[in-house]
């Protein structure tokens, strides 16, 4: 492992030291072993382990450089690729959209569709609002 000077260690946070350790070891570590190495490398008393392990966990959890793996192991995020897993529900929605698109496409196969057309369709037969009724309430009346 690359030796860090005391001056470098004084300027480094727990997370920076943990990053250095994981980079040098090139393998995942459980949080207890990692924090024990951080304490040892920084020259801190062993009593820090019990009192600061919770803070160390919170630090790793919020630092984007680290990723928590199975069974309490931690590693650097750059060592792991992001896998996108689609939920079954999402896949079903995608299938439904695809099926709906197919139905729409089959209905309009013979028509040319231009979505950029700014023309307005003024057919009274297609007026969706023709049956709209507006009710006025008298001031002070309670609506039911």
For 106-128, the pLDDT digits (tens) are: 444 555 555 555 555 555 556 67
- Prediction pTM value: 0.52
Is residue 59, in this structure, part of any structural domain at all?
A: yes
**Contact at 8 Å (CB) between 68 and 74?**
yes
Provide the residue range defining the domain that includes 20.
6-79
What are the beta bridge partners of residue 68?
A: 74
Q: What is the CATH number of the domain that holds 19?
A: 1.10.10
11-34 tens-digit pLDDT: 788 888 888 888 888 889 998 999
pLDDT (0 to 100) of residue 113: 58
- In whole angstroms, give the CA distance from residue 56 to residue 13: 10
The total domain count for the chain is: 1
Is 138 among the domain residues? Answer: no
Q: Is residue 44 part of a domain?
A: yes
Q: Which two tokens stand for residue 18?
A: 């943990």
Residue 110 domain flag: no
């Amino acid at each position: 492992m690359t030796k860090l000077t005391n001056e470098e260690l004084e300027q480094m946070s727990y997370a920076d030291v943990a990053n250095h350790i994981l980079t040098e070891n090139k393998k995942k570590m459980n949080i207890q072993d990692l924090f024990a190495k951080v304490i040892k490398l920084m020259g801190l008393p062993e009593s820090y382990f019990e009192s600061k392990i919770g803070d160390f966990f919170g630090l790793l959890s919020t630092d984007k450089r680290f990723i928590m793996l199975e069974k309490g192991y931690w590693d650097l995020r750059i060592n792991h690729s992001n896998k996108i897993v689609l939920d079954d529900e999402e896949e079903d929605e995608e299938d439904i959209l695809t099926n709906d698109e197919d139905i729409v496409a089959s209905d309009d196969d013979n028509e040319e569709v231009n979505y950029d057309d700014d023309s307005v369709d003024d057919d009274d037969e297609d007026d969706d609002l023709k049956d709209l009724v507006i009710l006025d309430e008298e001031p002070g009346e309670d609506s039911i």
